[in-house]
Amino acid sequence: MDFWSINPYVGCEFGCSYCYARYTHRYVVERAHDRGRLSDAEFREFRGPGGWEAFERRIFVKQQIASALDHDLPRYFRSARAPERPAPIVIGTATDPYQPAERRFRLTRLVLERLARYEGLSIGIISKSPLITRDLDVLQALASRSDLEIHISLATIDVALIRKLEMRSPRPAVRLRALRTLTAAGINAGMIVAPVIPGITDDHAHLRALFAAARDAGARHIHAAPLRLYGGVRDRFVPVLEAEFPHLVERYRAAYRHHAHAPAHYARALRRRIQRLQAEFGFRVNRGMEDRYRSTRIAPQAELQL
């Protein structure tokens, strides 16, 4: 990876059916079992009957994260030669750092307080939770000494749809209120639409509503990426498709049969749609890999078919 990551927790109570990070929970459980820290019976319980349930029911808390961070930061600073700056540090790449456990354990705040001691860092935070506004003081302190970019994650503003896809995540309205609070306090915060779910949240109506909501909340930026379906995620997500969107099941099986990532033609088309919306709503347009595909022409109505 071209960044460093910090995840104070493993597993996430929000229980989003599409979450790509379910495999991280599996690895932690398997390592603990291999090292004799979990008995065979505990291993079965912590893994879950279907291999995915424990991700949202058994949350691992990294209570030694402060000492681990102090140990790793010197290596982090040595990773770049002057005058280059060290790579970005992203908090919340494989779990939500502000999930309910954070109210009790406050590990994310502890990490931020440690990082706020330094200058010239590049810090990113990804979260669905309004709890992030609790730490506005330390976020402002961090932003005064380093580059800070916060991404509030939201896939749709449709509450009924959210409840089909994300079992216990915060409602869209409270996430948008948190985004508004952050930006009003001068924090560089925006929205990340990740994932965009093919056939479910990728139409113009859903995406335009999200972009409009982000703009109204004062978002400084908005990014989006299509669904990834790793093995452990399929076991959780496909049953949701079968129950709620049965007409999409075969299309998904065909599209994701050989790869975890969305088909290349779909990803290119989605990127174009996102870029048009970024321009329309006054956000910075992300070009990136899309420049390679300028010569490709896709009909607007057919472009997002799996």
Query: For residues 240 and 18, what is the distance between their CA atoms, to the nearest angstrom?
Result: 9
Nearest CA to 125 out of 105, 104, 102 is that of 102
Encode pLDDT of 33-46 as tens digits: 999 999 999 998 88
By the 10 Å C-beta count (0-12 exposed, 13-18 middle, 19+ buried), 299 is classed as exposed
Query: For residues 112 and 119, what is the distance between their CA atoms, to the nearest angstrom?
Result: 13
Percent of the chain with pLDDT over 90: 76
pTM: 0.91
pLDDT at 39: 94
Give yes or no for a contact between 127 and 102, defined as CB atoms under 8 angstroms apart: no
Encode pLDDT of 185-201 as tens digits: 999 999 999 899 999 99
pLDDT at 82: 67
Encode pLDDT of 47-102 as tens digits: 887 777 888 988 999 999 999 999 999 999 888 776 778 899 999 999 999 999 99
Q: Is the pLDDT of residue 230 over 60?
A: yes
Ranges of each domain in the chain: 4-250
Query: For residues 1 and 110, what is the distance between their CA atoms, to the nearest angstrom?
Result: 24
Give yes or no for a contact between 154 and 128, defined as CB atoms under 8 angstroms apart: yes
The CATH number for 4-250, chosen from 3.40.50.740, 3.80.30.30, 3.90.550.10, 3.40.47.40, is 3.80.30.30
